[in-house]
Amino acid sequence: MKYSIDGEEVGATYGATIVEEINCFSGQTVEELRQMYVNFANGIKPTEQPQTRAMSRGMKLEPYIMQESYSLIREAMKPRTNLEIIEVNEADRIVEERMACSCDSKFKVDKDLIIPNPMGNDFPMRGLIVNEIKSDAQSKSTVPPIMRYVWQLHFQMACTGARFGIISKMGADLNVKLYPYKRSEKMVAIIMSKVREFWYKVDNDIPYDLHKDEAPVIDLTEHKLAKEIEVLIDNRATAKAEATKWKDSLETIDAKIQGVMQTMNSERATFKNYLIEHKTVNVAAKPAQMSPAKPARSHKRFTIKEI
């Protein structure tokens, strides 16, 4: 449910567009967004846009992802931890900055909560935590959320005052993974600065110059190698499509063989002249040096070799 008021305040979705200067899904630029807000100020509302299939899918999946998310959160909680899920029925606001967010979910825990971080570097969370629900049909749940989602989460942490947040992502594999984040004051500062600039340009009707740093564009249509370039571009598109198809096929094949190995409770097997391995790889803890400390972890390594 959206509680922020377009034209009067900036929400987390528009906040990400303001920071990145474009919405990677709709293609809306920050200048188009500025013009929309100028029109709002002049009493002109934008035409209602029909809901996209992706938006419709996300809304239908949100209750299930939320349920899976809190199931995983409860699994990670220490004994006797009190979990308070906060009902969201209004926007969280920074009124003086004209910023507002409609969180998918928020909760509080009174003991350290450590969510196994798919990106490594586990850390404890306590107090107020923002839980952002995302469905992504373009990548698997094991692929970290795109930066746009991380900006949205930090926008919400800025508005709520939360020090921690989670992106609960369902991927194309229909699995749900939790990606925990510490509040980055640097990212929050960037958001605040960009939003202030946005409102200054809206209030004074100053356009964005989005092309100031771009290299000049040359037209290769009449180039002497135009026909060869056309063939190369067509071949590249075909190769990219084939690579994606075979990558997905390889992952499906590997998953089925791994399933057989798991039912046999074995990490190594032979089949005719092939050695199949699905071994657990343990990675030792790494002390803090120039980079942050990394905890010990393990993962599976799957190979098939001809012998």
Give 183-226 as a 3 state SS string: CCHHHHHHHHHHHHHHHHHHHCCCCCCCCCCCCCCCCCCCCCCH
Would you say the C-alpha torsion 82, 83, 88, 89 has a positive or negative sign? Answer: negative
Q: For residue 298, what pLDDT band results from cuts at 50, 70 and 90?
A: low
User: What b/e string do you get for 94-114 counting C-beta neighbours within 10 Å, with b at 16 or more?
Assistant: beebbbbbbbbbbbebeeebe
Secondary structure string (H, E, C) spanning 227-276: HHHHHHHHHHHHHHHHHHHHHHHHHHHHHHHHHHHHHCCCCEEEECCEEE
pLDDT value for 199: 97
**262 and 152 within one domain:** no
Domain of 196, CATH number, reads 3.90.320.10
Mean residue pLDDT across the chain: 88
**188 and 46 within one domain:** yes
pLDDT value for 261: 77
More confident position, 302 or 115: 115
pLDDT in tens, 255-271: 788 878 777 777 888 88
pLDDT in tens, 211-238: 766 566 677 787 888 888 888 888 888 8
Say whether 140 sits in a helix, a strand or coil. coil
Residue numbers of the domain that contains 195 = 12-203
More confident position, 174 or 295: 174
Give me 147's structure tokens.
Answer: 């930066």
**70 and 166 within one domain:** yes
Q: What is the CA radius of gyration of the chain?
A: 24
**187 and 58 within one domain:** yes
More confident position, 69 or 25: 69
pLDDT value for 273: 81
Tell me the C-alpha distance between 174 and 65, whole Å: 10
**127 and 36 within one domain:** yes
* Residue labelled with tokens 């190995």: 261
pLDDT in tens, 177-217: 999 999 999 999 999 999 999 999 999 999 998 776 656 66
Would you say the C-alpha torsion 75, 80, 81, 86 has a positive or negative sign? Answer: positive
Q: By percentage, how much of the chain surpasses pLDDT 70?
A: 90
Q: What is the DSSP letter of 284?
A: -
pLDDT in tens, 31-47: 999 999 999 999 998 88
Residue 307, pLDDT > 70, answer no
More confident position, 290 or 75: 75
| 99, part of any domain | yes
Q: Which of 171, 203, 235 is the last residue of a domain?
A: 203
pLDDT value for 304: 57
User: What b/e string do you get for 271-302 counting C-beta neighbours within 10 Å, with b at 16 or more?
Assistant: eeeeebebeeeeeeeeeeeeeeeeeebeeeee
Asked if 295 and 115 touch (Cβ cutoff 8 Å), the reply is no
pLDDT in tens, 124-170: 999 999 999 999 988 999 999 999 999 999 999 999 999 999 999 99
**233 and 132 within one domain:** no
Rounded to 10 deg, the angle between the 30-41 and 12-20 helix axes is 130
